[in-house]
Amino acid sequence: MKDFNFFSVYDEKSSNVKIVYLLAAVVALVIVILPLGYRMMIKSDEAGLQSQIGEINAWLGSAEVKTQLDQFDSRNLRIDNLRKYADALKKSTDSIEKIGSLSTADFDSLAGVLPHPSRIDSFTYADRNVSMEIIIPDRALAAEIISQLKQADSVEDVLFRSVTYDENADNYKLSVFCRMKEGVLK
C-alpha cells in the first residue's frame, strides 16, 4: 500500500513562499545597489574631472602661458591700432579726395582784387575754405581788400580776422578767411 502524505501540499507552498521572498530580497537589493553604484561612479568621474581641472588651471597659471597671453594681448593691441590707423587713413583719403583743387584762374581772381603794393604772404585752403595773410603797406588798404573780396564772383563769404603791424618790415599783415562758392574748387 501506498502512504499518503496529506501535509505535502503545505510543504510545497512554503518552499514557493521562500523563493518569492528570496526574489523580493534580490530585487530590493538591486534597487538599492544600482543607484549607490551609479552615484559612486559619478563621484569617481567627478574626482577625475576635478583633477583634470586642477592640472589645466596649473598649466594656465604657468609662466609660459602667461608669456604667450602677454604676446597675444600685445599683438591684439597692435592689430587694433593698425585697424584704427587704417580707418583714420581711409577717412583722410576720402576727405582728400573730396577736397577740390584751386585752379590758377581761381587763385588769380583772388589775387586780382589786391591793390598793387600788397602781396600774399601765406595761402592755405581746405574743402572750400581759404585762409590768407596779406602784406599791405597801409592799414587803410585792409578795408578795401575785404570789400573787393566780398564782391569777387568766386567768394561766398569773407571773414576779417586781424591786422597786425610788423615794425621790422614796416608794413601790416592782414589775416582774412574766405569761403569759396560751391563748384569753384574742382
CATH number at residue 150: 3.30.1360.100
Q: How far are the Cα atoms of 77, 81, 101, 169 from residue 70, in angstroms, in the given order?
A: 10, 16, 48, 60
Same domain, 113 and 92: no
What pLDDT is recorded for position 150?
Answer: 86
Tell me how crowded residue 97 is: count the other CB atoms within 10 A of its CB.
8
pLDDT by residue for the chain (186 residues), tens only, comes to: 677 776 666 655 555 667 888 899 999 999 999 999 999 999 999 999 999 999 999 988 889 989 999 999 999 999 999 999 999 999 888 776 766 566 677 677 777 778 888 888 888 887 778 899 999 988 888 888 888 888 888 888 899 899 999 888 889 999 999 888 876 655
* Alpha carbons 93 and 75: distance in angstroms, whole number: 26
Structural domains counted in the chain: 2
Residue 33 lies in a domain: no
Residue 38 lies in a domain: no
Same domain, 108 and 86: no
* Alpha carbons 62 and 57: distance in angstroms, whole number: 9
Same domain, 151 and 129: yes
What pLDDT is recorded for position 52?
Answer: 93
3-state secondary structure of 179: strand
Residues in the chain: 186
Residue 148 lies in a domain: yes
Residue 37 lies in a domain: no
Residue 128 lies in a domain: yes
Same domain, 175 and 111: yes
* Alpha carbons 106 and 154: distance in angstroms, whole number: 7
Query: Which residue range forms the structural domain that includes residue 165?
Result: 104-180
